[in-house]
Structure formats: structure tokens, C-alpha cells
Chain A
Amino acid sequence: MNRQLLKKLALASYTNGKLDERKVNLIVKYLKRSEFKYYLRALKNLESTKTVYIQTANELGTEEKKSIKSLYGSKNLVFTKDRSLIAGIRIIDNDMIYENNLKNNLKNLVNAINK
């Protein structure tokens, strides 16, 4: 099976935007080992495009979470607390990373002085 087809299969494993366990089990049965590996990678890639990780120094309130959710529409949001950011937020959306936190600013400050 070629890669294009495996990618299509990965896309077809979703029902209403959610990964369907029944479909995946059915597909996996018929795949060879190498095909399975590629299928898994394609699924992983798809998952990462559908999930956004939001790290904050402090727990967010429901209002704030709502306003962030409205930005990302249908994507799954994962909120985590990361005290090491000191203050502010970091958003990881697939392979883009948005930083607006004190930790990153301090790091940039150190770089600017060392230059």
C-alpha cells in the first residue's frame, strides 16, 4: 500500500472529528508492519494538528479558557499549569510555538546582554 493511501486511511479513521477506536482496530488488522508504522505516524501528525497545548503559570479562569477556545474553534485544547514560566502563557499549536511569558523574556534579555 502506498503512502498516499495510508494517509487517506488515517484521515478516514476519524468520525465527527474524533478518533474512532473501532475503525482504527479494524484498519490495523489488515496492515503489514511497515505500513502500520507509517499509519501510526500519519495518525500522530493528524492528532497534533487537532490538539493545542496551552501552558500557563497560573490556573486560568473559565472566562479566559472560553475566550481561548473561541480562537481555536473545533480543536482540542489541553490546559496545563507550568510554574516554571513564572508569569504568562505558552501556546503550542502543532509545530508553531507562541511565547509570552516571563521565562522566555528573561532568556532573551540574557542573550541580548551577552551579544
Chain B
Amino acid sequence: MQDSEEIIKKLEKKLSAFSVGPEQANIGVVEKNTDGVIVANGLSKAMMGEQVVFENGARGIVLNLDEDYVSIILLDKADDIQAGHIVKTTGLLSGIKASEELLGRVINPLGFPLDQGNSIKNGKLMPLERIAAGVVEREPVNTPVKTGIKAIDTMIPIGRGQRELIIGDRGIGKTAIAVDTIINQRVENKQKKFKPVYCIYVAIGQKQSTIAQVIDKFKQYQAMDYTVVVSASASDPATLLYLAPYAGVAIAEYFMEKGQDVLIVYDDLTKHAWAYRQISLVLRRPAGREAYPGDIFYLHSRLLERAVKMNKANGGGSITALPIIETQANDLSAYIPTNLISITDGQIFFQSDLFNSGFRPAIDAGNSVSRVGGAAQTSAIKSVAGKMRLELAQYNNLAAFAQFGSELDESTSKQLERGKKTVEILKQPQYQPLPESLEFISIWALTNGFFDNIELDKVSYLEERLHDFMKRNYPKILDELSSGSKPSEEITKKIEKAVSEFKKTI
């Protein structure tokens, strides 16, 4: 119970900030309401992107300024707005209140909680639309974001401040990769090797059930402690879907300005493009290719340009973006996928054929690249990954030939065998991200021929046992490996000894 004095004090505090005086506002009169777009007369002083309030309390955003009228898109469901209603400007551009309080919360793009928690009242107001940091404030990507997924950390490394596109057909594990990466940050944050990574998961136009599942997984793996979920589901108005990624990045910028590292996942931008197409069509903007408006490229480029690695003078924070795009029938040449591929610093391409043949995560190593992540890879992983990648590429080439069934010489068949093992090692179950030291052990054992004489179907089982063996008997080696520096000859010898010891136990 609060006592009366406390209540009075609170009221006094609130009232001290309140001042009485004359007020002016710019008003307009609603002319028509069609498909969630309100056309209003007046509002001669309205700004582009300004928030307006209707007399029934509903809010909207100005998206078109014409000679005689303005077009407003609604943020709330408000079917009862009629011609003749008064609409007022607020002088505010859309923004969201961001603070540490948001960690562990599920909110909508306007900052309203969706998780039955308290409403979010405190925090710094961050603008949804902002010009990205300039060249002078940035520095090259130099620190890794560990995904805990062997295939990505070794072949397509992601650095802090990078934009890496996750692209592929529906239902073949794109979200799984993003979720695994967020879950893996718990282990990474505990190690304290690098700064902790805060995560923001932006769900755009997904089923509520899917979003609930993802949140449930975050909770199960205690990932919510450092994660904010921004959700605009399929049942929300297109306006919210359009604003969701900007709300996410605005929250990310709050943490980044404090010098923190942030990972943001946009799941997915295809639906974001659809929502923007819908808004543009009802606003009667001219339609271009696939009926998308002319500024669809700018829509995504200005969003992803806000992914950044700041230099030390500017706090040293970073925002790493993992946008997700859904393709139709593996078609990379559609409009939105090509746009996003050209905007981002690389892509992780998912193949449905690989997925169906049991290779999961179904990453197509040939079509996937990371244009800047290499600089961020730790030298430990770098020392083994190069060889593995080469072997895999050779295998993929040879495998095509070997299908004809002709006789192969010894070295070729050896290469084929090694390739098969590589593919097998790169398989990884969902929700089981690995720490860097164990990733290193797996790849080292593979490239040094440890798995050569082992049957294919036993590889993953033995890999797991090798991990257990190392954790139990040689925790010191793992400790040294997790420092990230290139292992010295002494350690390499120790690993060799340990692995051969393990081999004897089989």
C-alpha cells in the first residue's frame, strides 16, 4: 500500500512539469477513409512522417503531402473515423522509448508491451527514422559474432557491424539459424572474451503461433535476459509491419550509442516489402516492377545502412544485422532478393535439396559468402577453416564427376571420402550451438585425417564423444583454444596426443 503522502509527492512531481498557457495546433478535417488511408483537408503545417491524432484518440502518420490535402496511414485499428472528424498535428516524429528495461520484453513497434508486463514509461525517445552514421564515425569490422554453427563460423564468418543476409525457401531453417545465433550469445557473453552482445528479434508479418514458439525457445534457453522481441504479426495493420524493423533498429541504436554490441534479426524482410507495397498501393503511388513502389530499394538500404561498427572515438558500439529473405523455388533473381543481396555484406544461402537430403543446416557453401567477416575470424578458426573450405570445394567438383561411376584413382577416392566426412561434420542439430574451442577440435580432427578410417554413419556420434572426452580430460586445452589466438605448436601437439588417445578408446 502506498501512503497518502507518497501519492501526493508523486502527483506534485508530475504537476511540477506541467504548465498552463495558450496553445496552438494545426488541424485538418477528414475527407475520406479508404483502406486504412485517411485523406484530410487542412494540416498545412504537417511534416512528412509526423504523428497526428484524431478526435477519437486514434493515431496516424503523415505519408503524403499534396497541394490541398494530406494522406495519413493509421497506426491503430479505427474503422469509426468518419468524414468531418478533426485531426490534429502533434509535432512529433515517430519514435520509441528505449532503455535497459526493454530487455526480456516483447513489445509492438509502438512500444506497447505484448507480454502482460508493465507498460514502458521510461527511456530515451529514439527516432524510428534516422540517417545512419557517416564514414568518419565508423571503423572496419574486426570482432566476430559467434553463431555457434560450425558451417557459418568456419566458412561464412560474421563480424560485429556486418549485414549478413539469410536467404532461402520457406521452412528450411532460416529462422533456426537466427535463433541459434541468439541462443549462442548466452555462452559467448558468459565467457567475457568480447563485449556482451544484446539481441533484438524483429518478427514481421509472421503467424502469432510462430512468434510464440520462438519466444518460448528463447525462454527455454535463457536468452530473454539479453533479448528484446519486437513483434508485428500477420494480424497487425500493414503500418505496424512497415514500422517494425525501424523500431527494432532504433532500440539497437540506443544500446549502440552506449558503446554496446547489438545483434538484430529481421524476420523477415519479404513480408516487410509486402506491407510497404500494400501501403504504397493504397496511397496511389505509382507501382513499378512486381507492383513494388519505386523507393523499395531505399526502404531496405536505409534500414540496413544503420548496421554499423563505430570507432573508439564514437563509443565503439556496433549493430550487426541479420535480415532474412524468403525466396520462391530457390529463385535468387527475384526483385527483393537481388536488392537485398546487393545491399548486404554477404549472404547465407539455404538450399531445399540439401535440406531434404538431410544436410542440416542446409547451407549452400558455394553460393554463400561473407564479404567482410573474414577480417573478424579468430586466428584459431582461420588456421583450420581455409583447408576445410578448399577440401569441400574440391569434393563438390569431384562428386559431380564421380557420379558417372568410372574407376577412380586412389588420391581422388581419398578426396571424395574426406569430402563426405566434411559434409557429415558440418551437420549440426538445432538449438545446439558449439563454443569456438569445440568447433576447432572438430575441424582440426577432420582436416588431420582423424575421421578418415571411420564409417560415415558413425562420424557425428564419434564427434560428440570426442567433445565429451575433451571436456572431461583436457579442459585446459579447450580453455587455451577459446582465447582465439592461433594455437602454438605445443598446443597442437597436445591436441594430437589427446585425439589419438581418444582414438584408442573407440
Interface-side segment among A19-27, A57-65, A68-76, A91-99: A91-99
Give chain A nearest CB distance to B333 CB in angstroms: 43
A80 contacts B by Cβ under 8 Å: no
Choice from B18, B25, B41, B43 contacting A112 with Cβ under 8 Å: B18
Q: CA A94 – CA B41 in complex, angstroms?
A: 11
User: Is B18 in contact with A96, judged by CB distance below 8 angstroms?
Assistant: no
User: Is B20 in contact with A105, judged by CB distance below 8 angstroms?
Assistant: yes
Chain B window 1-44, contacts with chain A (Cβ cutoff 8 Å), 1 for yes, 0 for no: 00000000001001101101111111110000000000001111
Within 8 A of B (CB), among A2-57: 41, 45
Q: CA A100 – CA B21 in complex, angstroms?
A: 6
Q: Which residues of B contact A66 (CB under 8 A)?
A: none
Choice from A99, A100, A104, A109 contacting B18 with Cβ under 8 Å: A109
Chain A window 75-115, contacts with chain B (Cβ cutoff 8 Å), 1 for yes, 0 for no: 00000000000000000101111111000110011001101
User: Is B42 in contact with A95, judged by CB distance below 8 angstroms?
Assistant: yes
Interface size range of chain B in the complex: 20 to 34
User: Is B15 in contact with A97, judged by CB distance below 8 angstroms?
Assistant: no
Q: CA A100 – CA B43 in complex, angstroms?
A: 20
Choice from B15, B23, B27, B68 contacting A113 with Cβ under 8 Å: B15
Give chain A nearest CB distance to B67 CB in angstroms: 8
User: Is B25 in contact with A97, judged by CB distance below 8 angstroms?
Assistant: yes
User: Is A94 in contact with B17, judged by CB distance below 8 angstroms?
Assistant: no
Within 8 A of A (CB), among B107-156: 121
Q: Which residues of A contact B23 (CB under 8 A)?
A: 98-100, 104, 108
User: Is A108 in contact with B28, judged by CB distance below 8 angstroms?
Assistant: no
User: Is A96 in contact with B68, judged by CB distance below 8 angstroms?
Assistant: no
Give chain B nearest CB distance to A20 CB in angstroms: 23
Q: Look across to chain B and name the residue whose beta carbon is closest to the beta carbon of A92.
A: B27
Choice from A41, A96, A99, A113 contacting B26 with Cβ under 8 Å: A96
User: Is B24 in contact with A96, judged by CB distance below 8 angstroms?
Assistant: yes
User: Is A45 in contact with B18, judged by CB distance below 8 angstroms?
Assistant: no
User: Is A115 in contact with B42, judged by CB distance below 8 angstroms?
Assistant: no
Q: Which residues of B contact A99 (CB under 8 A)?
A: 22-25
User: Is A96 in contact with B20, judged by CB distance below 8 angstroms?
Assistant: no
Q: Look across to chain B and name the residue whose beta carbon is closest to the beta carbon of A88.
A: B22
Give chain A nearest CB distance to B246 CB in angstroms: 24
Give chain B nearest CB distance to A99 CB in angstroms: 5
Q: Look across to chain A and name the residue whose beta carbon is closest to the beta carbon of B21.
A: A100
User: Is B24 in contact with A45, judged by CB distance below 8 angstroms?
Assistant: no
* Most interface-central of B17, B23, B25, B26 (chain A CB within 10 A): B23
User: Is A112 in contact with B14, judged by CB distance below 8 angstroms?
Assistant: yes
User: Is B17 in contact with A96, judged by CB distance below 8 angstroms?
Assistant: no
User: Is A95 in contact with B28, judged by CB distance below 8 angstroms?
Assistant: yes
Give chain A nearest CB distance to B262 CB in angstroms: 29
User: Is B18 in contact with A95, judged by CB distance below 8 angstroms?
Assistant: no
Choice from A96, A105, A109, A115 contacting B25 with Cβ under 8 Å: A96
Q: Look across to chain B and name the residue whose beta carbon is closest to the beta carbon of A100.
A: B22
Q: CA A41 – CA B45 in complex, angstroms?
A: 20
Q: CA A82 – CA B382 in complex, angstroms?
A: 79
Q: Which residues of B contact A108 (CB under 8 A)?
A: 18, 20, 23
User: Is A45 in contact with B27, judged by CB distance below 8 angstroms?
Assistant: no
Give chain B nearest CB distance to A35 CB in angstroms: 15
Q: Which residues of B contact A98 (CB under 8 A)?
A: 22-24
Q: Which residues of A contact B21 (CB under 8 A)?
A: 100
* Most interface-central of A92, A96, A98, A115 (chain B CB within 10 A): A96
Q: Look across to chain B and name the residue whose beta carbon is closest to the beta carbon of A112.
A: B18
User: Is B26 in contact with A95, judged by CB distance below 8 angstroms?
Assistant: yes
Q: CA A104 – CA B88 in complex, angstroms?
A: 14
User: Is A112 in contact with B17, judged by CB distance below 8 angstroms?
Assistant: yes
Choice from A41, A97, A105, A113 contacting B14 with Cβ under 8 Å: A113
Give chain A nearest CB distance to B97 CB in angstroms: 12
CB-CB under 8 A for A113 and B17, given A96-B24, A97-B27, A98-B22: no
Q: Which residues of B contact A115 (CB under 8 A)?
A: 14, 121
Give chain B nearest CB distance to A10 CB in angstroms: 12
User: Is A113 in contact with B11, judged by CB distance below 8 angstroms?
Assistant: yes
Give chain A nearest CB distance to B7 CB in angstroms: 11
Give chain A nearest CB distance to B403 CB in angstroms: 69
Q: CA A112 – CA B44 in complex, angstroms?
A: 27
Q: Which residues of B contact A96 (CB under 8 A)?
A: 24-27, 45
User: Is B24 in contact with A97, judged by CB distance below 8 angstroms?
Assistant: yes
Chain B window 81-104, contacts with chain A (Cβ cutoff 8 Å), 1 for yes, 0 for no: 000000010000000000000000
Q: Which residues of A contact B43 (CB under 8 A)?
A: 95
Q: CA A103 – CA B430 in complex, angstroms?
A: 61
Q: CA A41 – CA B17 in complex, angstroms?
A: 43
User: Is A95 in contact with B68, judged by CB distance below 8 angstroms?
Assistant: no
Q: Which residues of A contact B27 (CB under 8 A)?
A: 92, 95-97
Q: Look across to chain B and name the residue whose beta carbon is closest to the beta carbon of A38.
A: B68
* Most interface-central of A94, A95, A97 (chain B CB within 10 A): A95
Given A99-B24, A100-B23, 4 more pairs with CB closer than 8 A: A95-B45, A97-B88, A108-B18, A113-B14
7 A–B contacts from the bound complex (CB under 8 Å): A94-B42, A95-B26, A95-B42, A108-B23, A109-B15, A112-B15, A115-B14
5 smallest beta-carbon distances between A and B, as pairs: A95-B42, A100-B22, A112-B18, A99-B23, A98-B24
Residues of A within 8 A of B (CB): 41, 45, 92, 94-100, 104-105, 108-109, 112-113, 115
